[in-house]
Amino acid sequence: MTTENRIVVSSDHAAIALRQAIAAHIASQGWDVVDIGPTTPESTHYPAHGAAAAQRVVSGDCQLGIILCGTGQGIMMAANKVKGIRCGVCSDTFSARMIRMHNDANMLSIGARVVGEGLALDIVDAFLNARFEGGRHATRVEMIDALEG
């Protein structure tokens, strides 16, 4: 069962400050934020953090997830290996809106070394405020999910 309004956030060491800014931003909007770290700056491994956040989503503990690393790319690749995850990296608000409207993305990835905090918060808002359109897009999302076997 999915817990509505609960969102998991995670990152590697390259994105701690931006992750914490995003967590505070969405908490102020009423989201129940599950921040699974890390909190200390030692070098760490983004696949583990991406997978941990993804597990929170596919288990139903969290409705959505936001993950970050330096580029947003590595942690996105790791999250997308978890069955049931549809995660996109976004550096613009249009893409962030569209990955929910057309792709029913359940996770968003952002590169902390790519975008500044102001744009990152706008990207997060675009993602969270968009809704899946269904219809022909549902057929395509089903085709994506079928590739997982």
- Is 13 in the active site? no
Least Cβ distance, residue 8 to ligand RB5 (angstroms): 18
If the CB atoms of residues 87 and 128 are measured against ligand RB5, the closer one turns out to be 87
Task: Evaluate whether 99 touches 65 at the Cβ level (below 8 Å).
Answer: no
- Between 69 and 128, whose beta carbon lies closer to ligand RB5? 69
**Shortest Cβ distance from residue 89 to ligand RB5 (Å)?**
9
Minimum distance, C-beta of residue 1 to ligand RB5, in the bound complex (Å): 32
CA distance 130 to 135: 16
- Closer residue to ligand RB5 in complex, CB, 41/84: 41
Is 69 assigned a catalytic role?
yes
Task: Residue 103: name the closest of 82, 124, 131 by CA.
Answer: 131
Is 93 among the residues that bind ligand RB5 (CB under 6 A)? Answer: no
Own/partner pairs, 56-59, CB within 8 angstroms, 24+ separation = 56/8, 57/8, 57/84, 57/85, 57/106, 57/107, 58/82, 58/83, 58/84, 58/85
Chosen residue from 10, 71, 106, 109 binding ligand RB5 by CB under 6 A: 71
What b/e readout covers 50-68, taking b as 16+ CB neighbours within 10 angstroms? bbbbbbbbbeeebbbbbbb
Is position 127 an interface residue for ligand RB5 (rule: CB under 6 A)? Answer: no
Q: Which residues bind ligand RB5 (CB under 6 A)?
A: 12, 14, 46, 69-71, 73-74
Active centre residues (catalytic): 69, 102
